[in-house]
Structure 1
């Protein structure tokens, strides 16, 4: 039974000092929740166990670099990142679409869950890019949510392809900057953007 008299922050401080018992305590505390999240995504018990194991392995390996404000959010984001990363490596198609018919049922275990995660990620991205100029936002969203090529965007907006490329570069650099302190959100965002390119 996990010991809840010790806070996540106290456990994390011990982990950063190299205390593997604290890592085991954190694993005991979050294992069931993370496993259930992974299982909803993969529908595969073995893969789900591997995903949770990888989350804790990465946590341990990166303990001297990570800054974690909210463990529940961090851990759930980490599971989703591991899932997306595995989907990328196995080349399973993961795209934001408005028509469920575009999904290949045999390649995605849980369409609704994947779509929900994608929508959450896109909404996060929309929120983060609000400070950018309207045209920059528009070009970025046309590229990443409408899946238009740079040439298609240029034609549609009556601007040069070079301008489109510059605006996309500005948006990506901006996202990297604002998300630099949230490593997992940055990685999951960039992974998503690569997958829908």
Structure 2
């Protein structure tokens, strides 16, 4: 098991016993991750921040009843996604319609270290443009798979899909990218891996 997962597991166990320091560490560790995901689901950054706060407040209130987990990030991403869509539904929007028509955009922060790894700005911009031509669900699956390193099963849980649907969405997205990418596909996948690791 990776060290960060062990750390998460220990923090989670301590948080469940009422340890406020462990809870604060979880908030600090995952706030930006949740914000980066949430802002792709809903462009209203204040609403996303409110939803993140609600997730953590509810988590603290339910600390005695939440289950143990080795995958804290997965648990939090799933909770935030549900909170964002259900919150909008309470304001009169149709929850199912929101799930079909939500905003999702992929942006890469191009850092100097990427250029030193023989990845040009043009290549990163080409990748970003191609990814943003995918459907919302395809972009979200790619984001969760490559940015957040979730398994197919975890992605299915987060997005309320079955595992086969996740596999199909990812397969279709990669097929679409394969037909439009100008260059070697192995390089494309390596580029995607490098860029998402630094975003």
TM-score normalised according to structure 1 size: 0.49
TM-score normalised according to structure 2 size: 0.49
Q: Give 1 or 2 for the bigger CA radius of gyration.
A: 1
